[in-house]
Structure 1
Amino acid sequence: MPTAPQQVVKPNIMRRIPMNKFLSAFALTLLLINGSAFAAGGWDDSSSSRNADFTAAEAKIKAGDYPAAIISLKKVTKAEPKNADAYNYLGYSHRKLGRFDEALEYYQKALSIEPDHLGANEYLGELYLQTSQLEKAEKQLEILDGLCFFGCDEYRELKGKIAEYKSAGG
């Protein structure tokens, strides 16, 4: 009596893993692959975010070690003279040290490379507030308003700083 051929039963992995766990694992994989795009606080995934000096500078800025950050950032701009992010951070570091003239030069350099750089536009507005130039700060807010179609953190931050400045009698 002939026997029916036996089917080889292959486990279907999709049946063993609930769909929500599969999607979660897939999303996590995508984040890990593209993590550098998110790790930089919204900055693009350019070579700067992979540059060791740039990464070191970010850590130094977060720690408040602005002189050390400046040293690292100057190495970045030497290697990447068109790195708007590095010039923005140089402006930020100098501003935090009270070196407003240098900060202005670096923000202007960042914006000459990338006029739509949200961070540089915001921080330049903050510099203007620190140097009692409210009208120029408000101009930076207008620029951000034009760049941020549905609002963005940089716009909200500068708007809040301008409101604080005005309420303090500035």
Structure 2
Amino acid sequence: MGSFRVLVLAGVIAAITGGAALAAGSGGGGGMDLPSDSGPSYDPAEEYAKALAALNARDYRAAARSAQRVTQAVPQNLEAWKLLGAAHAGAENWRGARRAYERALRLAPEDVSVRGGLGLALARLEDPKAQEQLDWLRTKAAACGPGCDAAQLRSLTAELEKVLAAPASPGARLDQPLILADAGDAAYLDAVGLINEGRFEAALVSLDAARAAFGPHPDVLTYQGFAHRRLGRFDTAEGFYRQALAVAPDHRGALEYYGELKVERGDRAGARRMLARLEQACAYGCAEAETLRSWIETGGDPGR
């Protein structure tokens, strides 16, 4: 496999260039403009940052609005659905919170915070299915071993038990994020170092923390795809590459590594399509295109 070239950018959120925008069309007639030409466009990573800031400021309506834009642009992004759920919970829009957490649960059935958020929303709606989430949390807590956050499980379990006992009583809304941008930068840089050391499982833990802070940033998503790929999890890796390219269609790292993954899977035609996109993205040539071209020509890592 080719060497992993790391480009540490000055600001993670500011690093997106040429990203795909989620366009919200505006009405009107006449002319030949498409709605996406005239309507406002949204950068998913920037909208995620706005949602996080609004949530911290307890401006739940603004947080939900920005988080919704992220889920529309990158519907497979777990953190966006969790953020939307937290925003709705903060506004006591329990039906909205339930829907957001249900979507998150499909993406991450083992996520403790998702289970807690969904359970709380269901309890506030006096839905008996809240008990299922409480039972899950209790079972998880009983089996809590190395790497398990016992304190978080205890907190979520206690809060859900309290709300189930008195659904209408005031209580914590689980509406505050667990990680902020400064911690996200540190996690991102830590992941870069771990990847360069070949410690991919450890890097994924740090990348998860960075993704919680920055949302669907294409650099973070590409690194997650690379780490999973090096661990042989090709399907998971592909999912992250596709997310990265949904946000930034010309992201050179994602295009190269997705192309290499296709070579590893014997899909040279698919790899050539990635190469064509790379050549269009860097018309004057770039190292990513040359590396992928070598992979295609040799049928694998040319360095082996």
TM-score, length-scaled by structure 2: 0.40
After TM superposition, which residue ranges in structure 1, 4 or more long, deviate above 2 angstroms?
A: 43-50
Distance 1:145 1:47 in 2: 25
Give the Cα–Cα distance (whole angstroms) in 1 for the partners of residues 199 and 216 of structure 2. 24
The one-letter code sitting in structure 1 at the alignment partner of 2:286 is C
Runs of at least 5 residues in structure 2 that lack an aligned partner in the other structure: 16-181
The question of 1:90 aligning with 2:55 is answered no
Aligned to 1:103: 237
Q: What per-residue deviation string (whole Å, max 9, x for no partner) do you get for residues 23-65 of structure 1?
A: xxxxxxxxxxxxxxxx952x64323688110000000000000
Is 1:141–2:106 an aligned residue pair?
Answer: no
Q: Deviations over 1:77-102 (max 9, x none)?
A: 11111211000000000000000000
> Distance in 1 between the 2:255 and 2:9 partners?
16
Select the residue among 259, 262, 282 that pairs with 1:125. Answer: 259
- Counterpart in 2 of 1:156? 290
Identity of aligned residues (%): 33
Counterpart-to-counterpart distance in 2, 1:134 and 1:54: 32
CA distance in 2, matches of 1:121, 1:55: 22
Secondary structure in 2 aligned to 1:154?
helix
| Other structure's SS at 2:243 match | helix
**1:90 aligns to what SS in structure 2?**
helix
Deviation, structure 1 residue 139? 0.3
Does residue 115 of structure 1 match 2:249?
yes
Cα distance in 1 between the residues matched to 2:267 and 2:293 = 14
Instruction: Output the CA distance in 1 between the equivalents of 2:12 and 2:248.
Output: 15
Q: Structure 1 unaligned runs (5+)?
A: 1-38
CA 1:61–1:110 in 2, change beyond 3 Å: closer, same or farther?
Answer: same
Counterpart-to-counterpart distance in 1, 2:231 and 2:247: 24
In the superposition, the TM-score normalised over structure 1's length comes to 0.70
> Which protein is richer in helix relative to its size?
1
- Structure number with greater Rg is 1
If asked which structure has higher relative contact order (CA below 8 Å, sep 6+), I would say 2
**Count of aligned pairs between the two proteins:** 128
Say what the alpha-carbon RMSD is for the aligned residues. Answer: 2.1
